[in-house]
Structure 1
Amino acid sequence: MNGPHDMGGMHGMGPIPIEADESVFHSQWEAKVFAMSFATFCNYFPVDETRHASERMPPGDYLTSSYYERWLYALELLITEHNLVTPEEIEQRIAKLSQEEY
């Protein structure tokens, strides 16, 4: 597969920023995405399927997304494709969480 995730040999992407003493998670939502993804991926989806799901992210989105945003994209894609939840259920939950934050 040749897409934005396959960056081997590409030029002009600039150096990879390396943070000194970088934490595993930069915010709480990343830890939650990791936990949900790990639990779901281990029980429902093989690693190759999860990798393929993140690689199906639109190229512009892929290149501007963080590591855990790609994990979230793959998780949402796979749980809807496998009929574990509907896209509407995801949107309803997002709306509910948004109201609770404010």
Structure 2
Amino acid sequence: MSRVNDVGGQTGFGALRIEAGEPPFHADWEARVYALNMALVRGGVYTLDEFRDAVERMAPAEYLAASYYERWLHAIETLVAERKVLGDA
């Protein structure tokens, strides 16, 4: 079953944009989300495969409306909740 992010071989999504000179992060919160994800992976909370799956499990409308790092944050929140990393909060 294809998910909304599975666009391999499909057309109509426009050309790949590579913007020279763009910073890796457009806002401080994006860098924090990146660092948090790396810490959780290195800490063994989840794997990169599990992280990717959590991104891909987003509802199609949410996925399409979210930015790259908003998808990352959604996946982190999903996995932390599923693993009860923060307890029963």
Give the 3-state SS of the residue equivalent to 1:69 in structure 2.
helix
Amino acid at match of 2:46: F
Amino acid at match of 1:11: T
Residue ranges of structure 1 left out of the alignment (5+ in a row)? 90-102
Identity %: 44
Which of the two has higher C-alpha Rg?
A: 1
In 2, the alpha carbon distance for the partners of 1:66 and 1:42 equals 24
- For the aligned residue pairs, the C-alpha RMSD in angstroms reads 1.7
Q: Provide, for residues 38-92 of structure 1, a one-character-per-residue CA deviation record: whole Å limited to 9, x for no partner.
A: 10122111111111111011111112211111110110000000001268x5xxx
Where does structure 1 differ by over 2 angstroms across 4 or more consecutive aligned residues?
none
State the structure with bigger RCO (CA 8 A, min sep 6), 1 or 2: 2
Normalised to the residue count of structure 2, the TM-score between the two structures is 0.88
In 1, the alpha carbon distance for the partners of 2:81 and 2:53 equals 15
Give the aligned partner of residue 68 of structure 1.
Answer: 69
Q: How many residues are paired up?
A: 88
In 1, the alpha carbon distance for the partners of 2:19 and 2:86 equals 37
Which range moves more in the overlay, 74-83 or 11-20? 11-20
Residue ranges of structure 2 left out of the alignment (5+ in a row)? none
Deviation at 1:11, TM superposition (A): 1.4
Normalised to the residue count of structure 1, the TM-score between the two structures is 0.78
In 2, the alpha carbon distance for the partners of 1:27 and 1:85 equals 26
In 2, the alpha carbon distance for the partners of 1:10 and 1:4 equals 12
